[in-house]
Structure 1
Amino acid sequence: MNLYRSARAVAGASGSGDDAIDWRSAAEAAKAATDPGSIALEPGEADAYARDVRDARAAVRTVSGAEFDVPDTIEIQNRHHWIDANVETFERVMGALEAHTDVFPGIARTINTGTMAVLLGFLGRNVLGQYDPLLLADTPEDDHALYFVRPNILNAADTLEVDPDRFRRWIAFHEVTHAAEFGAAPWLSTHLERRMEDGIAALSAGSFDRDAFRELDAAMTVVEGYAELLMDHAFDDEYEDLRRKLDARRQGRGPLQRLFRRLLGLGLKQRQYERGKNFFESVVTASDLETASRVWERPENLPTQDELDSPGLWLRRIDR
């Protein structure tokens, strides 16, 4: 970790440019301030990652009845690899906003670049695994990716005092459930992209598209909640202790880390997970898993904000 090199990279962003953020400098600064960690795999470890993903795919297919695949290449990353992979995603999303803005002066560009470097570094040190549908990507042949950040997985397992192999397998199952969702609903990526683009376009014009953000929030709540539903049925071990310990670890972080989590919307993600989980538990209790899976038949089947809090309303609507 080299804080001087990180600061120098951010300072270098003060030059002229049309983008609000100097993405190359942001990535360089984030990596300079972040220990990459090791991906020197133990004997058999690569096979264990592959086996976990294969087993998860088979179990989730059986439980959900959905036909889907996982990316051809499963990436075992260090923290710098994750930053490099995700700075492109951030740039794609922010590009939609930058396209509607004027050229940023040097000082604002430096501040924006420094802020993004801090956030990328924080995420790079904390993300465990990631199914990335590559929203807004220009290359349809590379339509999804699956990452495992090995040093973060090992560090979290050690901190939580849990078996690292079991913890890694739990992470694999969770990410594969997301692959199942996007595989079961080929329209989902486009739906999320359009809601995102609508909201960003409105913000760039100085207004707030409340409906676009509410629909985006509802869709992400379904994504998080359905993933937990599949985990409950597909994972071949108990995992409540893992979830409980991980939540306790998040709550026990210092004030600066809690601030970063709020800035990144991770508190919102936790709320989406809890709300979505409650919705699907109610649906399955009142009906069954097959009925719950009807959310992926078409965009119109996604629950509204009101239906997320009153699952009976959603059940009555789709049973018409």
Structure 2
Amino acid sequence: MNLYRSARAVAGASGTDAIDWESAAEAAKAATDPGSISLEPGEREGYARDVREARAAVREVSGVEFDVPEVVEIQNRHHWIDANVETFERVMGAIEPHTETFPGVARTINTGTMTVLLAFLGRNVLGQYDPLLLAETPDDEHALYFVRPNILKAADALEVDSDRFRRWIAFHEVTHAAEFGAAPWLSTHLETRMEDGIAALSEGSFDRNAFRELDAAMTVVEGYAELLMDHAFDDEYEDLRRKLDARRAGRGPLQRLFRRLLGLGLKQRQYERGKNFFEHVVAARDLETASLVWRHPDTLPTSEELDTPGLWIRRIER
């Protein structure tokens, strides 16, 4: 880790875009220990086995035929940063056609902000299913990443078996692959809401409806993943959830503030809200009924229905 090199990369941000992406990636990696991906004997096969068995279990409980991405990577933190710079650049690319040329000082500030975001996430993300939203071609392969140093560090901090913890992460990420497999329209739905919302922001307005629909869809994505985990994972896991929740709650005030500024509190809220919605639906009906959210964009619950699941049940049963 070299903070001087990180600061120098940010200070040297150049170009005409809002963010100098090359400098942001260089600075984030300079500020982040990459961690090791020197695998133990049998560890690579362990990752592969976990993904295969997660796919089989999720297929069985969901009734959805889907494939996991061909791109399954065991990464260090620098690998994750490189992969996600491209994602952030695609999202920001939707803003820049609507903006004038950025002055140098604004570009430096933006590049520094992105550096902090990438470095923080690079040190904390455990696994990731990447549907490659806003990719240039719709046929680009989705990807599945495991950030090995973060998985081992978290397992150690939680005092749980690392192989079991890795398997739990694999099941969670594979449930996201199942969602996009169940709903081929989901990527386009999310992209359209993102583009509409970003375009409005770049023009100085706020498209409340686009962001509400995006938030609702992402809440369903997080909640349904938890629903499938409850049914598919082949081991006890309540201790893992309890320890992770306690770890999040036990973060220092500065880190909690940092997570709020980065919008990570929103993701936690989506997870909790989505989980509550699906628990109610399954208790009132069954898993098959809950899976109707993926039948069509119109069967996604609205923001109001997420908080009052009975409204959604009555609507889709008409």
TM-score of the superposition, structure 1-length normalised? 0.98
User: Equivalent of 1:281, from 276, 279, 283?
Assistant: 279
Taking the aligned partners of 2:293 and 2:141, their CA distance within structure 1 comes to 22
Point out the more displaced range, 91-100 or 147-156: 91-100
Taking the aligned partners of 2:31 and 2:199, their CA distance within structure 1 comes to 33
Q: What corresponds to 1:18 in structure 2?
A: 16
Taking the aligned partners of 1:95 and 1:247, their CA distance within structure 2 comes to 35
Taking the aligned partners of 1:110 and 1:123, their CA distance within structure 2 comes to 20
Q: What corresponds to 1:179 in structure 2?
A: 177
Post-superposition CA distance 1:233-281 (Å, at most 9, x none): 0000111111111111112122332122112211111111111111111
Q: What corresponds to 1:164 in structure 2?
A: 162
Pair 1:211 & 2:209 matched: yes
Taking the aligned partners of 1:313 and 1:28, their CA distance within structure 2 comes to 49
Q: What corresponds to 2:316 in structure 1?
A: 318
Q: What corresponds to 2:293 in structure 1?
A: 295
Q: What corresponds to 1:222 in structure 2?
A: 220
Alpha carbons 2:71, 2:141 under 8 Å: kept: no
Alpha carbons 2:64, 2:182 under 8 Å: kept: yes
Taking the aligned partners of 2:278 and 2:169, their CA distance within structure 1 comes to 21
Q: Secondary structure at the match of 1:130?
A: strand
AA partner of residue 242 (structure 1) = L
The alignment covers a number of residue pairs equal to 318
Q: Secondary structure at the match of 1:76?
A: strand
Pair 1:122 & 2:100 matched: no
Taking the aligned partners of 2:221 and 2:165, their CA distance within structure 1 comes to 22
AA partner of residue 116 (structure 2) = V
> Structure 1 residue 129: deviation in Å?
0.1
Taking the aligned partners of 1:145 and 1:222, their CA distance within structure 2 comes to 20
> Structure 1 residue 73: deviation in Å?
2.5
Taking the aligned partners of 1:112 and 1:310, their CA distance within structure 2 comes to 39
Q: Secondary structure at the match of 1:238?
A: coil
Alpha carbons 1:31, 1:83 under 8 Å: kept: yes
Alpha carbons 1:73, 1:145 under 8 Å: kept: yes
AA partner of residue 238 (structure 1) = E
Taking the aligned partners of 2:258 and 2:232, their CA distance within structure 1 comes to 32
Taking the aligned partners of 1:105 and 1:206, their CA distance within structure 2 comes to 18
Alpha carbons 2:19, 2:107 under 8 Å: kept: yes
Alpha carbons 1:119, 1:260 under 8 Å: kept: no
Pair 1:271 & 2:269 matched: yes
Q: What corresponds to 1:2 in structure 2?
A: 2
- 5+ long unaligned stretches in structure 2: none
AA partner of residue 212 (structure 1) = A
Q: Secondary structure at the match of 1:41?
A: coil
1:90-101 to 2 correspondences below 5 Å: 90-101=88-99
Alpha carbons 1:30, 1:120 under 8 Å: kept: yes
AA partner of residue 149 (structure 1) = V
Residue identity (%): 86
1:57-206 to 2 correspondences below 5 Å: 57-206=55-204
Taking the aligned partners of 1:259 and 1:88, their CA distance within structure 2 comes to 26
Taking the aligned partners of 1:260 and 1:143, their CA distance within structure 2 comes to 32
Runs of 4+ in 1 over 2 A off after TM superposition: 139-143
Taking the aligned partners of 2:117 and 2:254, their CA distance within structure 1 comes to 12
Alpha carbons 2:70, 2:141 under 8 Å: kept: no
Pair 1:35 & 2:17 matched: no
- 5+ long unaligned stretches in structure 1: none
